[in-house]
A = this chain, B = another copy of it.
């Protein structure tokens, strides 16, 4: 019933009974529970049909607040949203993921409280807390699972630590999965099959199948960065293997290739700066990285037949130079059938994709029938 009302249109009890097929008595008792919980408000009177005008009911997205964070290696984006997932207040924090979960999650809690105060939402009940982390996460438990760039987080009970300070369900996922959820929820809700690729210090992806995020058996899906790049050769990767895509096409890998040609560069931002300032070498190296990424994505196109690939992450700021390489390789290596309706675009949600995805994850969870039923019982 709440799924219907989420479109924002007010409805009478009679309209709800017809649209859901539920008994009048069921509609009445569920509406009472939703009204008690504040999730539905009186929405004024409907058109009179001669007798007493029927009362209408409307979804109250402001009944709960959602706390969201997208945590990277050196900073985090935090936000407070309502039940539509649209940010009411947001902020950006500097941090060092290597300081470990206790320090970092403590910083997030402080930042969220500040945002709640700023937005005047301190007394609003929390629907939940959504956190994206830069490594594999077992979504069902919220514990990082052998995360390479944050080893001190391995197996840490993130939900328990956060719930100790904030009384709300805590959901945790990999940041790239949440980028995919964020792009899907806010920019491409109509697309059934899409892959979101993040190209930055690392390379990862999130993948939506039949409209649903595909997390895989242990939450490790989307690990594009450690697939063998066709031209990866013997380049060693931090994962212990050689020739991984991340070892040849990430921001630091492009920077290393430029240094070998005598051009000073260390980070994705350095590379993007050089490309934007018109450096031929940086442009060539970025386009080659795009080709390497595209060759691996071509395998994903053959396997998944998406209708959309979204390229995000800090290196996506290099724009068309990266995308041209990606497109070139995908179109060369894929069967025409799989690419006939394929769009390849840069991130639309941009730097906010992750935090929007964290909020979308909480909203999806909080308004899921099973969770609602339990809460209203």
A binding-site residues for B, Cβ under 8 Å: 21-26, 136, 145-146, 192-193, 205, 207, 209-210, 212, 214-224, 226-228, 230, 239, 241, 295-296, 298-300, 302-307, 333, 335-338, 340-342
Q: Closest approach, in angstroms, between the C-beta of A326 and any C-beta of chain B?
A: 16
Contacts of A222 in B (CB 8 A): 303, 305
Contacts of A212 in B (CB 8 A): 209-210
Those 3 A-B pairs whose CB atoms lie nearest each other, nearest first: A216-B305, A23-B23, A217-B307
| Contact present for A335 and B22 (CB under 8 Å) | no
| Contact present for A216 and B193 (CB under 8 Å) | yes
| Contact present for A333 and B228 (CB under 8 Å) | yes
Chain A facing B: main interface SS: loop
Contacts of A220 in B (CB 8 A): 302, 305, 335, 337-338
| Contact present for A217 and B341 (CB under 8 Å) | yes
Contacts of A241 in B (CB 8 A): 333
Contacts of A299 in B (CB 8 A): 227-228, 296, 299-300
Copy number of this protein in the oligomer?
Answer: 2
Contacts of A337 in B (CB 8 A): 136, 145-146, 218, 220
| Contact present for A223 and B338 (CB under 8 Å) | yes
| Contact present for B21 and A341 (CB under 8 Å) | no
If A26-B21, A209-B209 touch, whether A336 touches B227 (CB-CB below 8 Å) is no
Q: 16 more A-B contacts (CB under 8 A) besides A217-B307, A226-B335? A: A22-B22, A22-B23, A23-B24, A23-B26, A192-B217, A205-B303, A209-B210, A209-B212, A215-B305, A217-B342, A220-B335, A220-B338, A221-B305, A224-B302, A227-B298, A300-B303
**A295: nearest residue on chain B (CB-CB)?**
B228
**A146: nearest residue on chain B (CB-CB)?**
B337
Contacts of A23 in B (CB 8 A): 22-26
- In the complex, A243 Cα to B217 Cα: how many Å? 30
Q: Which of A218, A222, A300, A304 has the most CB of B within 10 A?
A: A304
Contacts of A230 in B (CB 8 A): 228, 230
Contacts of A298 in B (CB 8 A): 227-228
- In the complex, A192 Cα to B212 Cα: how many Å? 13
**A239: nearest residue on chain B (CB-CB)?**
B335
- In the complex, A127 Cα to B313 Cα: how many Å? 49
Q: List 6 A-B contacts (CB under 8 A).
A: A22-B26, A145-B337, A205-B303, A221-B304, A223-B303, A227-B299
**A227: nearest residue on chain B (CB-CB)?**
B299
| Contact present for A214 and B210 (CB under 8 Å) | yes
- In the complex, A212 Cα to B212 Cα: how many Å? 10
- In the complex, A295 Cα to B230 Cα: how many Å? 11
Contacts of A216 in B (CB 8 A): 193, 304-306, 338
Contacts of A218 in B (CB 8 A): 305, 337-338, 340-341
- In the complex, A220 Cα to B303 Cα: how many Å? 8
Contacts of A205 in B (CB 8 A): 303
Contacts of A304 in B (CB 8 A): 207, 214, 216, 221, 303
A207 interface neighbour in B228, B296, B303, Cβ under 8 Å: B303
If A210-B214, A228-B230 touch, whether A219 touches B305 (CB-CB below 8 Å) is yes
Q: Closest approach, in angstroms, between the C-beta of A292 and any C-beta of chain B?
A: 12
| Contact present for B224 and A303 (CB under 8 Å) | yes
